[in-house]
Amino acid sequence: MLQRSIFGTLNAGRLLRLPTRYNIKTAGVLGQTRTYAHKLEADESVSESEWKGQLYSWKSICLCTIPLIAFGLGTWQIQRLKWKMALLDDVNDRMHRRPVALPLRVTAEEINRNEYRRVIVYGVYDHANEMLVGPRSYESEPGFVVVTPLVREDGSRVLVNRGWIKRELQDPKLRPESQMTEPVTIVAFVRCSPGKNSFMPESDPDSNHWFNLDLELMAKHTGSQEVLLEVIQPESAAVAILDARNGIPLGAPSLVDIKNNHLQYTLTWYAMSAITGTMLYISLRKPRSAIAQIKRLRSRAGRDL
């Protein structure tokens, strides 16, 4: 007998066989799935309590500080970047001002306020008290920095960093052109004391071994003011190279390149904060695997589960 519905004509035998075949094949699967789902639901409360214990442990609290500290350091580097940019603008302004005569007496405050300011100084080099600081390399070649007292018209002295020489020219006799005895007029930068390098050995004034530019010790040793000037090399590179070959110390470039890496530091710290924060979230997020499996099983099996 044929049954008619909105789907058309159906065979009665086929209609009767359909639920039987469905029940035979799916009854076992539904039973197993129902049991597994109930087990997952029972284990869910245990997993959640374990997760809460892990979330509020000292280990997790300590790990949470890593992205926060990295973010704080990145923010601090932004402030340092602003400070460094203002400093570079100030230094650049000083370097481009017209040279002025250096007063006979200069205070430490004036030196700090006028670092990298170009000054004109007149006097005679005291080569007998010449000091070689180093070793120092220039373009991968070993050498030394020459520091010589300059005696001014009133008899006062200032220390002059004349520049770099090759290691082979340590002996002043090998560079007679640098040992001028007549008065000279130099244009130089005012420099602050570079400070002591803790990784360098102590200088020995008695043997004239200077490992770092210790302004205080050098001034005391030579009877000079604690004033350090840095000779500026000729604008022509060819002239500067020729002077260096003749033993005349290679002075500082007319434009000083001061490193400013704070932007890279900022990006590095923020990236580290983002990466560690993401890793922390993944490791501490609430486990949802059991819930997801139950929902997936229910969606596949239907309302019977």
pTM (predicted TM-score):
0.67
Highest mean pLDDT among 3-17, 37-51, 201-215: 201-215
Is pLDDT of 119 > 60?
A: yes
Q: Could you tell me the sign of the dihedral formed by the alpha carbons of 17, 20, 26, 30, in that order?
A: positive
Segment 242-268 shows an average pLDDT of 83
Confidence category of residue 22, pLDDT binned at 50, 70, 90: very low
**Which residues are registered as beta bridge partners of 188?**
119, 231
Segment 124-148 shows an average pLDDT of 92
For residues 214 and 1, the model is more confident at 214
Highest mean pLDDT among 26-35, 177-186, 235-244: 177-186
Q: Alpha carbon of 206 to those of 210, 221, 222: distances in Å?
A: 10, 9, 11
Q: What is the pLDDT of residue 11?
A: 44
Is pLDDT of 233 > 60?
A: yes
Q: What is the pLDDT of residue 302?
A: 58
- Report the distance separating Cα 131 and Cα 170, nearest Å: 10
Burial class, 69, CB count within 10 angstroms (exposed 0-12 / middle 13-18 / buried 19+): middle
Closest CA to 256 of 82, 97, 88: 88
Which of 71-80, 219-228, 243-252, 289-298 has the lowest average pLDDT?
A: 289-298
**Which residues are registered as beta bridge partners of 164?**
145, 250
